[in-house]
Chains A and B, each alone.
Chain A
Amino acid sequence: MVGYSIRRFLGSIPVIIMVSMLAFLGQQLVPGDPILAIIGEGEFAELATGGSEALDARRKELGLDRPAILQYVSYVERLMQGDFGRSFVSREPVLDMIRVRLPISMKLNVITFMINIGMGLSLGTIAALRPGYTDFFATVWAVLGVATPNFWAAILLILVFSVKLGWLPTSGWVDPFSDPVEGFKHLILPIFALSLFGSATIMRQTRSSLLEVLREDYIQTARAKGLIERRVVIRHALKNAMLPVMTIIGLSLAGLIGGSVLIERVFAIPGVGRMAIDAANRRDFPVLQAIVLLGTFAIVGANLVTDIAYAWLDPRIKYS
């Protein structure tokens, strides 16, 4: 298992190199001039006067006047030193931007992730064990969760709980660790909107895998041996049903970085997801490249964990 893990880890290095190249290539492939994208923005997409000389000066400042190959060389050089460059738009060092925003997204998403797993597993298990109304309502809830666009749900939540009832803030971010009360208030609506989809996905997969496993021979055997239902479920069925569920959870673990893009936008939360959207809209390539690389690290790691969890859950899988 250890050997396997090390091999998997080494195997991920080419992925990261490949992604870094793709990320740079994106800058050359995607149409749109970052300098002009900035000018055309604002409340009414108005244009500030400048003249092409001023724009050329901005390009020069950002190194955009040089041939692509030279830009790539210095991009790699900088990466080697752990420098992601500066934002084309705000001209802040990208690393500083990420240092501020990543913890925000992580806090938001980790809490959501835990709620998703808790809700998804328990609802899924209950639905599988109790056919009939319980199953029906759990399924309807899950399907509504999957079927409702989350940005849409988010707005409705704001209109009801913030504007009509005045219970919760509409938007913004307060760190839950430095100000627990305000932080928690600011978290409720975004997390609710975010977990609709995630918990529903896990719930459905849990339910269907569990139903399937419950029909397997060894469960039937265990039942025949007279083991009581709960122990059957927990000891045998749930563990075996986890295999496809782990895949789904692994994937949503991967989505922790970019999963809250729309919710961060709606709730004005300054996380990485919103940074990504803004960067994409403004053609802010250094920021995008950093996000993509970051995502790659996170997901390669998440996959590693998932694969190892697979091996643990299903001893029939051999790695050697």
Chain B
Amino acid sequence: MAVETLRLGMGGLPEPKSLMASVRSFVYEPKAATALVILGLLLLMAIFAPLLAPYGFAEQDVTASRVQPGAEHLMGTDILGRDILSRIIYGARISLRIGFISVGIAAGVGVPTGAIAGYYGGWWDEILMRLTDAMIAFPNLIFLMGVVAVLGPGTTNVMIALGLNAFPLYARLTRGQTLSVKQRDYVSAARALGGTDLRIMARHIMPNAVQPLIVQGSLALGTAVLAESSLSFLGIGISPPTPTWGVIISEGFALIRTNPWISVAPGFFIVAFVLSVNLLGDRLRDVFDPRLRGTR
């Protein structure tokens, strides 16, 4: 225990040797391994979409409207006779990109905002947190609708909207962690030893603030993909025929009673994706935090 405390005091990141051990234990853990496989498959699917998809994502066939899943169309077709599987495969590209990039935007804006506010306190805190409050002040979906309405719909704008919508979460989490961590002895020690603010934040505060952020990030990846589907359900956001999973669900949603496969299949992919990023997030947190080993 003493050793662990010392290591934390020295910077909070695991040593290279323990990182290797972490990777090994990471893969051996069945939940994480499963999640890794699912996520890997989804990523491969997204990357090699044109090779994998049996049809084009916008290819209509008036003679094959709402065909049930079968040999010709593994996951059936939609009302316009488009192959659902192909749309899902291409959709993986856009949905995953939306997830990762919007979380990136949110963290990229939110983490520095929160760290600065928490670390410097005073007016910095007031101004940045008031700004954050103002952002949070808009109810989520209304905010998203507003941003999309002003910027115009489309993949990039939806990613920006989702990112901006989620950044206050990161800012507040980071600030809370920063406030808590900066009082600790090793931070005071680092400051006494003449560390610059930036260095202290990067070396001492951030690593300790990172766990809840990773947990939040893994959830937020899924949230972003879900939020996109909510926007599509409301008929705003990414415009068909671009096949995000959300768009496919919403186009098939009205047919849920008669042709449920159209919206069930993409829903399954969303759940699989969110499930795997969450399990991975859990595992990552455990691995990042060497103190966990031995407690379970």
Contacts and interface: CB of A to CB of B under 8 A. Distances in A.
Q: Do chains A and B touch in the complex (CB under 8 A)?
A: yes
Interface of A: 11-12, 14-15, 18-19, 22, 26, 29-32, 131, 136, 139, 142-144, 146-149, 151-152, 155, 159, 201, 204-205, 208-209, 211-212, 214-215, 217, 220, 243-244, 246-247, 250-251, 254-255, 257-259, 261-262, 265, 273, 276-277, 280, 288, 291-292, 295-296, 299-300, 303, 310, 314, 316-318
Contacts of A255: 139-140
A211 B215 CA distance: 12
A291 B142 contact: yes
Contacts of A146: 219, 222-223, 226, 274, 278
A215 B256 contact: no
A295 B139 contact: yes
A155 B256 contact: yes
Contacts of A26: 146, 149-150
A147 B146 contact: no
B1 A299 contact: no
A196 B234 CA distance: 20
A292 B138 contact: yes
A205 B226 contact: no
A244 B233 CA distance: 31
B283 to A, nearest CB: 11
B134 interface: yes
A316 to B, nearest CB: 4
B98 to A, nearest CB: 14
Given A149-B249, A296-B134, 15 more contacts: A11-B126, A19-B134, A32-B149, A159-B256, A159-B257, A212-B289, A215-B292, A244-B173, A247-B176, A251-B168, A257-B139, A262-B233, A277-B141, A288-B142, A295-B139
A300 B141 contact: no
Main secondary structure of the interface of B (DSSP, over half): helix
A14 B139 contact: no
A214 B169 CA distance: 24
A30 B129 CA distance: 27
A173 B285 CA distance: 43
A317 B172 contact: no
Given A147-B275, A255-B139, A280-B142, A208 B212 contact: yes
A189 B77 CA distance: 31
B180 A243 contact: yes
30 contacts: A19-B134, A142-B278, A143-B278, A146-B222, A146-B274, A147-B273, A149-B230, A151-B233, A152-B249, A201-B219, A205-B215, A208-B215, A211-B295, A212-B289, A215-B291, A215-B295, A243-B180, A244-B176, A246-B176, A247-B173, A251-B136, A254-B137, A261-B141, A262-B141, A262-B230, A277-B145, A288-B142, A292-B138, A292-B142, A295-B138
Interface in B253-296: 253, 256-257, 263, 267, 270-271, 273-275, 278-279, 282, 285, 289, 291-292, 295-296
Contacts of B179: 310, 314, 316-317
A242 B219 CA distance: 18
Nearest first, the 7 A-B pairs at minimum CB distance are A258-B139, A147-B274, A296-B137, A215-B291, A316-B183, A147-B271, A244-B212
Contacts of B274: 143, 146-147
A18 B134 contact: yes
A152 B141 contact: no
Given A146-B278, A258-B140, A303 B229 contact: no
Contact of A259 (B140, B233, B278): B140
A208 B211 contact: yes
A220 B291 CA distance: 12
